[in-house]
């Protein structure tokens, strides 16, 4: 039986739409910026590829477990629903609380600012409107405009949102695949860059490897996207698992191919510590003028991600509000568009405020730790699920897959806490602030 909380939502999303959400939510600017920092710690191209593959396997393990949870509880809300049903409404609320505070609103703001910066880089100076305004004002104006654009698109119904997202994600994947093929076929790279003779110094220790994996997992985050749309998924018992698994595999293949291309393009001494590794690779492959191509590509990747974030987040707030643990207006669904319009507007408003105040980058730093807690709790919930009911869909590899994912994710949390104790403490504090908020919402219908 499907929960009655979804009776106002329409099950219109097929496999392609759910798959698009997963891919769009995962691929942002991270893949184009993190590998140079990681290489500075590893100093080994083969180890870099191996860790990206290992990180992909961790993400795939999470996707496998979530496929069973999503098929068993195909409702709007993702982790909020899983944790609330399998444990207690309080930890479920805390996962939704973190989603509202920073899980979606802040990434929307950060991605919008990133989009504006990259799109300005791609515009020839004589064409740029920015020359008539201060650069900061222009960047913020573009970022706010993008958020408002997708807000208007996504409040007009899930079918229109799905069409937009399918187009944007398909084009993003095509552009990345074209860059990879063009780089290997026509680019001026060299396979000698894989030679270990270039490496110098001691081999990286486990601490460096662990820190590198933390960065890599940030780039893989978003593999759980389809579960937030469980209440609008058509044939959810089939399409949610397929979208999570196939979407994650597609991203793994793209990430491994891109990192291989980066190594092929850039000599190791130029690779290490390079933050804009994507731009550097394109310049080495095609010449200095080709950097505009990558600026457009990254801007488009962020463009698609903003769209996906604006779709996904309001489904969490809707699910919380339906059960009395959030602002009641967030539960109201438009009878015309069958979307929680006010949830979408609320989230976009918070994102716009973050863009205008410029505080979202600090929030993201503090909350990276907190965002890693709740997937572990949800994944371990599969053991409770199998004890309480016999789900129709069961993921392969049980019980090893959920145990492996939980242990790997827990190790990364511990490592983050050791390396960034202040940020981790603040993140935990923000989670704990959600406890009185839970009881406040439960006592009052706001």
Whole-angstrom CA distances from 256 to 54, 207, 404 are 11, 23, 22
pLDDT band at 381 (very low <50, low <70, confident <90, very high): very high
Domains identified in the chain, total number: 1
201 torsion bin: left (phi>0), alpha (psi -120 to 50), beta (else): left
pLDDT tens for 78-101 read: 899 999 999 999 999 999 998 887
pLDDT score, position 132:
52
Q: What is the mean pLDDT of residues 58-62?
A: 96
Q: What is the spatial distance between Cα 305 and Cα 199, in angstroms, rounded to a whole number?
A: 36
DSSP state of 34: S
339's tokens: 């979307």
Q: What is the mean pLDDT of the chain?
A: 85
pLDDT tens for 167-181 read: 988 988 998 999 999
137 lies in which domain range?
4-443
Nearest to 225 by CA among 247, 198, 208, 251: 247
How many CB atoms are located within 10 Å of the residue 135 CB? Answer: 12
Greater model confidence, 194 or 56 = 56
Q: What is the spatial distance between Cα 446 and Cα 441, in angstroms, rounded to a whole number?
A: 7
Q: What is the spatial distance between Cα 432 and Cα 17, in angstroms, rounded to a whole number?
A: 35
What is the sign, positive or negative, of the torsion defined by CA atoms of 327, 328, 331, 336?
negative
277's tokens: 């590794």
Q: What is the spatial distance between Cα 45 and Cα 55, in angstroms, rounded to a whole number?
A: 15
pLDDT score, position 426:
81
Residues 6+ apart with CB under 8 A from 334: 155, 340, 341
pLDDT band at 140 (very low <50, low <70, confident <90, very high): confident
pLDDT tens for 323-352 read: 888 988 888 888 888 888 999 999 999 999
> Domain with 292 in it: what CATH number?
1.20.1740.10
pLDDT score, position 186:
92
Nearest to 211 by CA among 407, 414, 372, 62: 414
Long-range contacts of 378-382 (CB under 8 A, 24+ apart): 378/65, 378/66, 378/69, 378/79, 378/82, 378/83, 378/86, 378/95, 379/62, 379/65, 379/66, 379/405, 379/406, 379/409, 380/406, 381/69, 381/82, 381/83, 381/86, 381/87, 382/65, 382/68, 382/69
Greater model confidence, 39 or 201 = 39
pLDDT score, position 366:
57
DSSP state of 102: I
Q: What is the mean pLDDT of residues 124-151?
A: 73
pLDDT score, position 367:
61
Contact by Cβ (8 Å): 12, 161: no
pLDDT tens for 277-299 read: 888 888 899 988 787 777 888 88
pTM of the model: 0.87
Greater model confidence, 69 or 415 = 69
pLDDT tens for 4-20 read: 444 466 778 889 999 99
pLDDT score, position 407:
95
pLDDT score, position 359:
47
pLDDT score, position 123:
66
């Amino acid at each position: 039986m499907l929960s009655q909380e979804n009776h106002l939502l329409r099950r219109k999303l097929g496999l392609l739409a759910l798959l698009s959400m997963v891919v769009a939510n995962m691929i942002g600017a991270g893949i184009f910026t993190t590998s140079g920092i990681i290489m500075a710690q590893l100093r080994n191209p083969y180890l870099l590829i191996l860790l990206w593959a290992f990180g992909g396997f961790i993400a795939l393990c999470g996707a496998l477990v979530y496929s069973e949870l999503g098929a068993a509880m195909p409702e709007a809300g993702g982790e909020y629903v899983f944790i609330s049903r399998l444990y207690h409404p309080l930890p479920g609320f805390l996962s939704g609380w973190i989603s509202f505070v920073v899980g979606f609103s802040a990434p929307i703001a950060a991605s919008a600012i990133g989009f504006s910066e990259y799109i300005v880089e791609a515009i020839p100076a004589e064409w740029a409107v920015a020359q008539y305004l201060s650069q900061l004002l222009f960047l913020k104006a573009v970022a706010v405009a993008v958020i408002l654009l997708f807000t208007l698109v996504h409040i007009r119904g899930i079918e229109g949102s799905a069409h937009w997202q399918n187009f944007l994600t398909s084009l993003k994947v095509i552009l990345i695949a074209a860059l990879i093929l063009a780089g290997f076929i026509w680019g001026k790279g060299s396979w000698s860059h894989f030679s270990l003779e270039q490496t110098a110094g001691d081999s990286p220790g486990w601490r460096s490897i662990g820190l590198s994996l933390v960065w890599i997992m940030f780039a893989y985050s978003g593999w759980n996207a389809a579960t937030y749309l469980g209440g609008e998924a058509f044939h959810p018992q089939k399409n949610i698992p397929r979208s999570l698994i196939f979407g994650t595999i597609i991203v793994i293949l793209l990430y491994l191919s891109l990192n291989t291309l980066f190594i092929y393009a850039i000599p190791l001494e130029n690779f290490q510590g390079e933050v804009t590794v994507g731009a550097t690779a394109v310049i080495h492959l095609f010449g200095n003028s080709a950097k505009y191509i990558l600026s457009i590509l990254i801007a488009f990747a962020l463009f698609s991600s903003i769209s996906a974030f604006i779709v996904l987040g309001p489904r969490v707030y809707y699910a919380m509000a339906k059960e009395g643990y959030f602002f009641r207006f967030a539960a109201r669904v438009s009878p015309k568009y069958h979307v929680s319009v006010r949830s979408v507007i609320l989230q976009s408003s918070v994102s716009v405020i973050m863009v205008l105040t410029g505080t979202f980058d600090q929030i993201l730093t503090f909350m990276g730790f907190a965002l890693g807690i709740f997937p572990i709790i949800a994944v371990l919930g599969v053991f409770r699920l199998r004890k309480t009911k016999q789900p129709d869909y069961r993921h392969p590899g049980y019980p090893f897959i959920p145990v492996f994912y939980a242990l790997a994710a827990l190790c990364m949390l511990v490592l983050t806490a050791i390396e960034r104790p202040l940020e981790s403490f603040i993140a935990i504090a923000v989670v704990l602030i959600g406890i009185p908020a839970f009881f406040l919402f439960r006592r009052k219908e706001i």
